[in-house]
Protein backbone atom coordinates (compact mmCIF):
# COMPACT_ATOMS: atom_id res chain seq x y z
CA UNK A 1 0.00 0.00 0.00
CA UNK A 2 1.38 3.45 -0.87
CA UNK A 3 2.43 5.76 1.94
CA UNK A 4 0.04 8.53 0.88
CA UNK A 5 -2.99 6.19 0.94
CA UNK A 6 -2.04 4.85 4.36
CA UNK A 7 -1.51 8.38 5.70
CA UNK A 8 -4.92 9.44 4.36
CA UNK A 9 -6.64 6.51 6.09
CA UNK A 10 -4.82 7.09 9.35
CA UNK A 11 -6.27 10.58 9.67
CA UNK A 12 -9.84 10.07 8.49
CA UNK A 13 -11.68 7.45 10.53
CA UNK A 14 -15.09 8.46 9.14
CA UNK A 15 -13.94 7.89 5.57
CA UNK A 16 -12.53 4.48 6.59
CA UNK A 17 -15.89 3.32 7.90
CA UNK A 18 -17.71 4.63 4.84
CA UNK A 19 -15.38 3.89 1.95
CA UNK A 20 -13.03 1.11 3.10
CA UNK A 21 -14.74 -1.71 1.19
CA UNK A 22 -14.52 0.22 -2.10
CA UNK A 23 -11.12 1.89 -1.65
CA UNK A 24 -9.05 -1.22 -0.90
CA UNK A 25 -8.56 -4.69 -2.26
CA UNK A 26 -8.65 -7.67 0.11
CA UNK A 27 -4.97 -7.63 1.02
CA UNK A 28 -4.96 -3.89 1.61
CA UNK A 29 -8.11 -4.14 3.74
CA UNK A 30 -6.48 -6.77 5.93
CA UNK A 31 -3.32 -4.68 6.20
CA UNK A 32 -5.38 -1.75 7.50
CA UNK A 33 -7.62 -3.70 9.88
CA UNK A 34 -4.68 -5.48 11.56
CA UNK A 35 -2.37 -2.44 11.64
CA UNK A 36 -2.29 -1.75 15.39
CA UNK A 37 -0.16 1.45 15.30
CA UNK A 38 -2.76 2.94 13.00
CA UNK A 39 -5.68 2.34 15.37
CA UNK A 40 -4.00 2.60 18.78
CA UNK A 41 -3.93 5.66 20.97
CA UNK A 42 -0.40 6.98 21.49
CA UNK A 43 -0.41 5.84 25.12
CA UNK A 44 -0.96 2.23 23.96
CA UNK A 45 2.19 2.16 21.84
CA UNK A 46 5.54 1.17 23.31
CA UNK A 47 7.77 4.13 24.18
CA UNK A 48 10.98 4.98 22.37
CA UNK A 49 14.34 4.49 23.98
CA UNK A 50 16.34 1.68 25.52
CA UNK A 51 13.94 0.85 28.34
CA UNK A 52 13.96 -2.36 30.37
CA UNK A 53 10.45 -2.21 31.88
CA UNK A 54 7.40 -0.49 30.42
CA UNK A 55 4.89 -0.03 33.25
CA UNK A 56 1.35 0.73 32.06
CA UNK A 57 -0.56 1.83 35.15
CA UNK A 58 -4.04 3.01 34.24
CA UNK A 59 -7.71 2.82 35.10
CA UNK A 60 -10.00 -0.06 34.24
CA UNK A 61 -11.03 -0.21 30.61
CA UNK A 62 -8.09 1.95 29.51
CA UNK A 63 -6.93 -0.71 27.03
CA UNK A 64 -3.99 -2.12 29.00
CA UNK A 65 -4.62 -5.73 27.96
CA UNK A 66 -4.85 -4.78 24.28
CA UNK A 67 -1.59 -2.83 24.57
CA UNK A 68 0.16 -5.81 26.18
CA UNK A 69 -1.19 -8.30 23.63
CA UNK A 70 -0.23 -6.12 20.68
CA UNK A 71 3.28 -5.60 22.06
CA UNK A 72 3.75 -9.36 22.39
CA UNK A 73 2.39 -9.86 18.88
CA UNK A 74 4.86 -7.27 17.53
CA UNK A 75 7.79 -8.98 19.27
CA UNK A 76 6.75 -12.44 18.05
CA UNK A 77 6.37 -11.30 14.44
CA UNK A 78 9.66 -9.38 14.37
CA UNK A 79 11.87 -11.76 16.38
CA UNK A 80 11.33 -15.39 15.43
CA UNK A 81 13.74 -16.48 18.16
CA UNK A 82 11.79 -14.67 20.90
CA UNK A 83 10.97 -16.58 24.07
CA UNK A 84 8.25 -14.67 25.91
CA UNK A 85 6.97 -15.20 29.45
CA UNK A 86 3.27 -14.46 30.06
CA UNK A 87 2.72 -14.02 33.80
CA UNK A 88 -0.63 -13.42 35.53
CA UNK A 89 -1.94 -13.75 39.07
CA UNK A 90 -3.05 -17.30 38.22
CA UNK A 91 -2.87 -19.68 35.27
CA UNK A 92 -6.60 -19.28 34.83
CA UNK A 93 -6.20 -15.52 34.33
CA UNK A 94 -3.23 -16.03 32.03
CA UNK A 95 -5.39 -18.24 29.81
CA UNK A 96 -8.72 -16.40 30.06
CA UNK A 97 -7.37 -12.84 29.80
CA UNK A 98 -3.92 -12.80 28.20
CA UNK A 99 -4.49 -15.58 25.66
CA UNK A 100 -8.19 -16.27 25.09
CA UNK A 101 -9.76 -12.94 26.15
CA UNK A 102 -11.45 -10.38 23.92
CA UNK A 103 -8.18 -8.42 23.81
CA UNK A 104 -5.93 -11.43 24.27
CA UNK A 105 -3.25 -12.78 21.97
CA UNK A 106 -5.47 -15.09 19.93
CA UNK A 107 -7.86 -12.22 19.19
CA UNK A 108 -5.30 -9.61 18.11
CA UNK A 109 -3.27 -11.76 15.72
CA UNK A 110 -4.42 -11.80 12.07
CA UNK A 111 -5.62 -15.19 10.80
CA UNK A 112 -2.58 -15.88 8.60
CA UNK A 113 -0.19 -15.14 11.50
CA UNK A 114 -2.27 -16.57 14.33
CA UNK A 115 -0.18 -18.71 16.70
CA UNK A 116 -0.86 -22.28 17.76
CA UNK A 117 -2.08 -22.50 21.33
CA UNK A 118 -1.09 -25.65 23.23
CA UNK A 119 -2.95 -25.47 26.58
CA UNK A 120 -1.52 -28.71 27.97
CA UNK A 121 2.01 -27.34 27.52
CA UNK A 122 1.08 -23.80 28.57
CA UNK A 123 2.66 -22.70 25.32
CA UNK A 124 1.91 -20.51 22.30
CA UNK A 125 3.89 -20.97 19.08
CA UNK A 126 3.87 -18.45 16.21
CA UNK A 127 4.31 -19.53 12.57
CA UNK A 128 7.76 -17.91 12.49
CA UNK A 129 9.00 -19.85 15.52
CA UNK A 130 8.60 -17.38 18.39
CA UNK A 131 7.16 -18.93 21.55
CA UNK A 132 5.40 -17.76 24.70
CA UNK A 133 4.98 -19.72 27.92
CA UNK A 134 2.29 -19.14 30.56
CA UNK A 135 3.14 -18.74 34.25
CA UNK A 136 1.27 -18.09 37.48
CA UNK A 137 2.65 -15.50 39.88
CA UNK A 138 1.44 -17.78 42.67
CA UNK A 139 4.15 -20.26 41.63
CA UNK A 140 7.26 -18.09 41.88
CA UNK A 141 9.62 -21.06 41.78
CA UNK A 142 8.35 -22.04 38.32
CA UNK A 143 10.28 -19.02 36.98
CA UNK A 144 13.51 -20.16 38.59
CA UNK A 145 15.49 -21.65 35.72
CA UNK A 146 13.61 -20.86 32.46
CA UNK A 147 15.19 -18.22 30.23
CA UNK A 148 13.30 -15.59 28.27
CA UNK A 149 13.95 -12.66 25.99
CA UNK A 150 10.74 -10.79 26.77
CA UNK A 151 7.85 -10.89 29.23
CA UNK A 152 4.36 -9.51 29.66
CA UNK A 153 3.17 -9.37 33.27
CA UNK A 154 -0.54 -8.61 33.70
CA UNK A 155 -2.20 -6.98 36.73
CA UNK A 156 0.94 -7.12 38.86
CA UNK A 157 -0.85 -5.28 41.68
CA UNK A 158 -3.14 -8.32 42.00
CA UNK A 159 -0.31 -10.79 42.45
CA UNK A 160 -0.44 -12.44 45.86
CA UNK A 161 2.40 -10.96 47.93
CA UNK A 162 1.92 -13.09 51.01
CA UNK A 163 5.43 -13.51 52.45
CA UNK A 164 6.85 -11.58 49.50
CA UNK A 165 5.56 -14.04 46.88
CA UNK A 166 4.91 -11.42 44.17
CA UNK A 167 8.34 -9.87 44.56
CA UNK A 168 10.04 -13.27 44.43
CA UNK A 169 8.17 -14.04 41.23
CA UNK A 170 9.31 -10.76 39.68
CA UNK A 171 12.91 -11.31 40.81
CA UNK A 172 13.00 -14.85 39.41
CA UNK A 173 11.62 -13.54 36.12
CA UNK A 174 14.26 -10.81 35.97
CA UNK A 175 17.08 -13.29 36.70
CA UNK A 176 15.91 -15.46 33.80
CA UNK A 177 15.54 -12.57 31.35
CA UNK A 178 18.88 -13.23 29.65
CA UNK A 179 18.11 -14.17 26.05
CA UNK A 180 18.51 -11.77 23.14
CA UNK A 181 20.31 -8.47 22.88
CA UNK A 182 17.86 -6.28 24.81
CA UNK A 183 15.42 -8.15 27.10
CA UNK A 184 12.27 -6.19 27.98
CA UNK A 185 9.19 -6.52 30.19
CA UNK A 186 5.76 -4.94 29.81
CA UNK A 187 3.81 -4.76 33.08
CA UNK A 188 0.14 -3.79 32.88
CA UNK A 189 -1.87 -3.02 36.00
CA UNK A 190 -4.52 -0.99 37.73
CA UNK A 191 -2.66 0.95 40.44
CA UNK A 192 -2.57 -0.31 43.99
CA UNK A 193 -0.06 0.60 46.66
CA UNK A 194 1.48 -2.87 46.92
CA UNK A 195 5.24 -3.33 47.45
CA UNK A 196 6.03 -4.48 43.89
CA UNK A 197 4.26 -1.52 42.28
CA UNK A 198 5.93 0.93 44.66
CA UNK A 199 9.32 -0.62 43.92
CA UNK A 200 8.86 -0.14 40.18
CA UNK A 201 7.55 3.39 40.67
CA UNK A 202 10.73 4.25 42.58
CA UNK A 203 12.75 3.19 39.52
CA UNK A 204 10.84 5.30 37.00
CA UNK A 205 13.16 7.67 35.17
CA UNK A 206 16.38 5.98 36.24
CA UNK A 207 18.24 6.11 32.92
CA UNK A 208 15.09 4.91 31.14
CA UNK A 209 15.26 1.71 33.19
CA UNK A 210 11.52 1.84 33.94
CA UNK A 211 9.22 3.90 31.70
CA UNK A 212 5.75 4.74 33.01
CA UNK A 213 2.53 5.24 31.05
CA UNK A 214 -0.52 6.44 32.98
CA UNK A 215 -4.09 6.91 31.90
CA UNK A 216 -7.75 6.92 32.87
CA UNK A 217 -10.81 4.91 31.93
CA UNK A 218 -12.34 7.89 30.12
CA UNK A 219 -9.47 8.02 27.63
CA UNK A 220 -10.96 4.91 26.06
CA UNK A 221 -14.58 6.04 26.32
CA UNK A 222 -15.09 5.71 22.55
CA UNK A 223 -14.61 1.94 22.84
CA UNK A 224 -16.63 1.40 26.03
CA UNK A 225 -20.42 1.15 26.45
CA UNK A 226 -22.02 4.43 27.44
CA UNK A 227 -23.97 2.61 30.16
CA UNK A 228 -20.72 1.38 31.69
CA UNK A 229 -19.26 4.90 31.78
CA UNK A 230 -22.43 6.28 33.37
CA UNK A 231 -22.63 3.50 35.96
CA UNK A 232 -19.01 3.66 37.15
CA UNK A 233 -19.04 7.46 37.19
CA UNK A 234 -22.17 7.49 39.35
CA UNK A 235 -20.85 4.80 41.69
CA UNK A 236 -17.22 5.86 42.11
CA UNK A 237 -16.97 9.54 41.21
CA UNK A 238 -15.47 11.54 44.05
CA UNK A 239 -14.15 8.51 45.93
CA UNK A 240 -10.56 7.48 46.53
CA UNK A 241 -11.38 4.11 45.00
CA UNK A 242 -12.58 5.92 41.88
CA UNK A 243 -9.32 7.84 41.68
CA UNK A 244 -7.52 4.51 41.81
CA UNK A 245 -9.71 2.27 39.64
CA UNK A 246 -10.85 4.84 37.06
CA UNK A 247 -8.30 7.67 37.04
CA UNK A 248 -5.32 5.34 37.42
CA UNK A 249 -3.95 7.23 40.42
CA UNK A 250 -1.76 5.49 42.97
CA UNK A 251 -3.54 6.39 46.22
CA UNK A 252 -1.34 6.61 49.30
CA UNK A 253 -2.53 5.13 52.59
CA UNK A 254 -2.65 7.15 55.78
CA UNK A 255 0.34 6.23 57.98
CA UNK A 256 -0.80 3.80 60.66
CA UNK A 257 -4.36 3.40 59.35
CA UNK A 258 -6.25 0.36 60.66
CA UNK A 259 -7.13 -0.59 57.07
CA UNK A 260 -4.95 -0.11 54.00
CA UNK A 261 -5.87 -0.42 50.33
CA UNK A 262 -3.58 -3.42 50.01
CA UNK A 263 -5.26 -5.13 52.97
CA UNK A 264 -8.73 -4.62 51.51
CA UNK A 265 -7.62 -5.84 48.08
CA UNK A 266 -6.14 -8.92 49.72
CA UNK A 267 -9.52 -9.55 51.33
CA UNK A 268 -11.58 -8.95 48.18
CA UNK A 269 -13.48 -11.97 46.86
CA UNK A 270 -16.19 -11.14 44.29
CA UNK A 271 -17.11 -14.80 43.81
CA UNK A 272 -20.42 -16.12 45.13
CA UNK A 273 -18.68 -17.84 48.04
CA UNK A 274 -20.27 -20.44 50.28
CA UNK A 275 -23.82 -20.36 51.59
CA UNK A 276 -24.43 -17.85 54.38
CA UNK A 277 -25.51 -19.39 57.66
CA UNK A 278 -26.18 -16.02 59.30
CA UNK A 279 -26.73 -12.50 57.91
CA UNK A 280 -26.65 -9.28 59.92
CA UNK A 281 -27.56 -5.72 58.92
CA UNK A 282 -25.45 -3.19 60.82
CA UNK A 283 -26.97 0.28 61.26
CA UNK A 284 -25.41 3.53 62.42
CA UNK A 285 -28.36 5.97 62.58
CA UNK A 286 -27.77 9.69 61.92
CA UNK A 287 -28.37 12.27 64.61
CA UNK A 288 -30.56 14.28 62.22
CA UNK A 289 -31.88 14.21 58.67
CA UNK A 290 -29.56 17.09 57.72
CA UNK A 291 -26.50 15.49 59.28
CA UNK A 292 -24.36 12.50 58.42
CA UNK A 293 -25.34 9.45 56.39
CA UNK A 294 -27.20 6.53 57.90
CA UNK A 295 -24.73 3.67 57.68
CA UNK A 296 -26.45 0.45 56.55
CA UNK A 297 -24.10 -2.45 55.81
CA UNK A 298 -25.02 -6.09 55.23
CA UNK A 299 -22.58 -8.79 56.37
CA UNK A 300 -22.86 -12.57 56.39
CA UNK A 301 -21.08 -15.50 57.99
CA UNK A 302 -20.36 -18.32 55.55
CA UNK A 303 -20.25 -22.05 56.13
CA UNK A 304 -16.46 -21.73 55.89
CA UNK A 305 -16.36 -19.57 59.02
CA UNK A 306 -15.37 -16.45 57.04
CA UNK A 307 -17.44 -13.27 57.23
CA UNK A 308 -18.29 -11.37 54.06
CA UNK A 309 -19.33 -7.79 53.52
CA UNK A 310 -22.23 -8.25 51.11
CA UNK A 311 -23.74 -4.82 50.51
CA UNK A 312 -23.55 -1.14 51.44
CA UNK A 313 -27.14 0.14 51.49
CA UNK A 314 -26.35 3.42 53.29
CA UNK A 315 -28.44 6.52 52.58
CA UNK A 316 -27.51 10.18 52.94
CA UNK A 317 -29.52 13.09 54.31
CA UNK A 318 -32.51 10.86 54.88
CA UNK A 319 -35.47 11.38 57.16
CA UNK A 320 -36.00 8.76 59.90
CA UNK A 321 -38.79 7.21 57.85
CA UNK A 322 -36.61 6.97 54.78
CA UNK A 323 -33.54 5.42 56.43
CA UNK A 324 -35.74 3.03 58.42
CA UNK A 325 -37.36 1.95 55.16
CA UNK A 326 -33.90 1.43 53.63
CA UNK A 327 -32.95 -0.77 56.60
CA UNK A 328 -36.13 -2.79 56.23
CA UNK A 329 -35.53 -3.25 52.50
CA UNK A 330 -31.96 -4.40 53.08
CA UNK A 331 -33.08 -6.86 55.76
CA UNK A 332 -35.81 -8.25 53.52
CA UNK A 333 -33.66 -8.37 50.40
CA UNK A 334 -30.89 -10.30 52.13
CA UNK A 335 -33.16 -12.38 54.41
CA UNK A 336 -31.29 -11.04 57.42
CA UNK A 337 -31.40 -12.85 60.73
CA UNK A 338 -30.97 -9.68 62.74
CA UNK A 339 -30.52 -5.93 62.60
CA UNK A 340 -27.93 -4.48 64.94
CA UNK A 341 -28.44 -0.74 65.40
CA UNK A 342 -26.49 1.70 67.53
CA UNK A 343 -28.83 3.33 70.02
CA UNK A 344 -26.68 6.10 71.50
CA UNK A 345 -28.62 8.70 69.53
CA UNK A 346 -32.04 8.11 71.10
CA UNK A 347 -32.41 4.36 71.51
CA UNK A 348 -36.20 4.30 71.90
CA UNK A 349 -36.62 6.45 68.83
CA UNK A 350 -34.36 4.20 66.74
CA UNK A 351 -36.30 1.07 67.64
CA UNK A 352 -39.65 2.81 67.18
CA UNK A 353 -38.70 4.06 63.71
CA UNK A 354 -37.49 0.61 62.65
CA UNK A 355 -40.61 -1.09 64.02
CA UNK A 356 -42.76 1.42 62.18
CA UNK A 357 -41.08 0.46 58.92
CA UNK A 358 -41.62 -3.23 59.63
CA UNK A 359 -42.99 -4.52 62.91
CA UNK A 360 -41.43 -7.94 62.30
CA UNK A 361 -37.86 -6.67 62.03
CA UNK A 362 -35.52 -8.63 64.37
CA UNK A 363 -33.87 -5.59 65.95
CA UNK A 364 -31.17 -5.55 68.61
CA UNK A 365 -30.01 -2.20 69.95
CA UNK A 366 -26.39 -1.80 71.00
CA UNK A 367 -24.88 0.99 73.08
CA UNK A 368 -21.41 2.25 72.26
CA UNK A 369 -19.18 2.53 75.32
CA UNK A 370 -16.07 3.16 73.26
CA UNK A 371 -15.29 5.37 70.30
CA UNK A 372 -15.75 4.27 66.70
CA UNK A 373 -12.05 3.67 66.13
CA UNK A 374 -11.62 1.66 69.33
CA UNK A 375 -14.55 -0.55 68.29
CA UNK A 376 -12.98 -0.98 64.86
CA UNK A 377 -9.57 -2.21 66.01
CA UNK A 378 -10.51 -5.85 66.77
CA UNK A 379 -12.48 -5.99 63.50
CA UNK A 380 -9.42 -4.76 61.57
CA UNK A 381 -7.51 -7.62 63.20
CA UNK A 382 -10.04 -10.02 61.70
CA UNK A 383 -9.17 -8.67 58.24
CA UNK A 384 -5.47 -9.14 58.94
CA UNK A 385 -6.19 -12.74 59.96
CA UNK A 386 -8.07 -13.41 56.72
CA UNK A 387 -11.42 -13.87 58.47
CA UNK A 388 -13.30 -11.21 56.46
CA UNK A 389 -13.86 -10.82 52.72
CA UNK A 390 -15.42 -8.06 50.62
CA UNK A 391 -17.83 -9.58 48.08
CA UNK A 392 -17.48 -6.67 45.65
CA UNK A 393 -16.32 -3.04 45.50
CA UNK A 394 -17.68 -0.72 48.20
CA UNK A 395 -15.98 2.57 47.38
CA UNK A 396 -17.37 4.88 50.07
CA UNK A 397 -17.28 2.24 52.80
CA UNK A 398 -13.67 1.39 51.97
CA UNK A 399 -12.67 5.06 51.91
CA UNK A 400 -14.02 5.38 55.46
CA UNK A 401 -12.30 2.21 56.69
CA UNK A 402 -8.98 3.52 55.35
CA UNK A 403 -9.52 6.79 57.23
CA UNK A 404 -9.60 5.19 60.71
CA UNK A 405 -6.41 5.72 62.71
CA UNK A 406 -5.40 4.33 66.10
CA UNK A 407 -6.03 6.61 69.04
CA UNK A 408 -9.57 7.56 68.02
CA UNK A 409 -8.69 9.72 65.00
CA UNK A 410 -10.71 9.72 61.78
CA UNK A 411 -9.21 11.32 58.64
CA UNK A 412 -11.46 9.88 55.96
CA UNK A 413 -14.20 11.52 53.87
CA UNK A 414 -17.11 13.22 55.61
CA UNK A 415 -17.45 14.18 59.25
CA UNK A 416 -18.00 10.69 60.56
CA UNK A 417 -17.32 7.09 59.40
CA UNK A 418 -20.99 6.06 59.41
CA UNK A 419 -20.65 3.26 56.87
CA UNK A 420 -17.53 1.94 58.58
CA UNK A 421 -19.26 1.98 61.97
CA UNK A 422 -22.26 0.06 60.61
CA UNK A 423 -19.87 -2.50 59.12
CA UNK A 424 -18.04 -2.82 62.44
CA UNK A 425 -21.31 -3.41 64.32
CA UNK A 426 -22.36 -6.15 61.89
CA UNK A 427 -18.98 -7.92 61.90
CA UNK A 428 -18.71 -7.63 65.68
CA UNK A 429 -22.07 -9.37 66.03
CA UNK A 430 -21.05 -12.10 63.59
CA UNK A 431 -17.47 -12.75 64.66
CA UNK A 432 -16.76 -11.37 68.11
CA UNK A 433 -19.86 -12.18 70.11
CA UNK A 434 -22.52 -9.93 71.54
CA UNK A 435 -20.27 -8.06 73.88
CA UNK A 436 -17.92 -7.18 71.09
CA UNK A 437 -14.89 -7.94 73.19
CA UNK A 438 -11.69 -8.13 71.14
CA UNK A 439 -11.58 -11.90 70.62
CA UNK A 440 -10.44 -13.54 67.37
CA UNK A 441 -11.43 -17.04 66.36
CA UNK A 442 -8.41 -19.07 65.33
CA UNK A 443 -8.59 -22.33 63.40
Residue 270 domain-assigned (yes or no)? yes
Could you tell me if 330 and 311 are in contact, meaning their C-beta atoms sit under 8 angstroms apart? yes
> How far, in Å, are 19, 22, 23, 24, 32 from residue 28 at the CA level?
13, 11, 9, 5, 6
Residue 236 domain-assigned (yes or no)? no
Calpha distance 364→355 (Å, rounded):
11
Residue 235 domain-assigned (yes or no)? no
Per-residue pLDDT of the chain (443 residues; tens, 9 = 90+): 444 444 544 444 555 555 555 666 667 777 788 899 989 999 999 998 889 999 999 999 999 999 999 999 999 999 999 999 999 999 999 999 999 999 999 999 999 899 999 999 999 999 999 999 999 999 999 999 899 999 999 999 999 888 889 999 999 999 999 999 999 999 999 998 888 999 999 999 766 689 999 999 999 999 999 999 999 988 888 888 888 889 998 888 888 899 998 899 889 987 778 899 999 999 998 876 566 789 999 999 999 999 999 999 999 888 888 888 899 999 999 999 999 988 766 556 677 777 776 767 788 888 877 778 888 999 999 999 999 999 999 999 999 999 999 877 888 888 889 999 999 999 999 999 754 444 444 44
**Is the domain of 268 the same as that of 168?**
no
- Looking up residue 354, the CATH number of its domain turns out to be 3.30.420.240
- Looking up residue 53, the CATH number of its domain turns out to be 3.40.50.300
Smallest CA-to-CA distance from 8 within 30, 40, 32 is with 32
Residue 239 domain-assigned (yes or no)? no
Residue 294 domain-assigned (yes or no)? yes
> For the chain, how many structural domains are there in total?
2
Residue where a domain stops, chosen among 161, 195, 220: 220
> How far, in Å, are 56, 72, 204, 349 from residue 133 at the CA level?
21, 12, 27, 64
**Is the domain of 88 the same as that of 200?**
yes
- Other residues' Cβ atoms within 10 Å of the Cβ of residue 400: 30
Residue 201 domain-assigned (yes or no)? yes
**Is the domain of 213 the same as that of 304?**
no
Helices 13-23 and 3-10 cross at an angle (nearest 10°) of 140
Calpha distance 368→261 (Å, rounded):
27
Q: What is the pLDDT of residues 177-219, one digit of tens each?
A: 999 999 999 999 999 888 899 999 999 976 668 999 999 999 9
**Is the domain of 32 the same as that of 177?**
yes
Residue 2 has what pLDDT? 44
Q: Residue 224 phi/psi, 5° resolution?
A: -120, 150
Residue 412 domain-assigned (yes or no)? yes
**Is the domain of 190 the same as that of 303?**
no
Residue 20 has what pLDDT? 58
Residue where a domain stops, chosen among 220, 249, 284: 220
**Is the domain of 41 the same as that of 103?**
yes
Residue 443 has what pLDDT? 40
Residue 224 has, within 13 A of its CA and on its CB side, a CA count of 20
* Domain limits for position 200: 22-220
Residue 16 domain-assigned (yes or no)? no
- The answer to pTM > 0.85 is no
**Is the domain of 207 the same as that of 279?**
no
SS3 346: coil
Question: Can you name the residues that pair with 131 across neighbouring β-strands?
Answer: 83, 125
SS3 27: helix
Amino acid sequence: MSADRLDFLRHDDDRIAQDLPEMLDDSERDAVLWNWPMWARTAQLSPHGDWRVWLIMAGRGFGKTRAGSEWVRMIAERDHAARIALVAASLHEARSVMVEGESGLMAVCPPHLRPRYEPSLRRIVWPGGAQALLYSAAEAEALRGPQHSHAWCDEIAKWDDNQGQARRCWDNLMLGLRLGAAPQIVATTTPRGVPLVRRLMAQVGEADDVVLTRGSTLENAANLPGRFIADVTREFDGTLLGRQELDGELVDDLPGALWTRALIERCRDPSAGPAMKRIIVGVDPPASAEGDACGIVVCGLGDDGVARVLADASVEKASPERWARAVAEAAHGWSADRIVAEANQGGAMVEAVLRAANAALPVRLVHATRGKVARAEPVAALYEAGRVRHAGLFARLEDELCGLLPGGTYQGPGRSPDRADACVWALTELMLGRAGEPRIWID
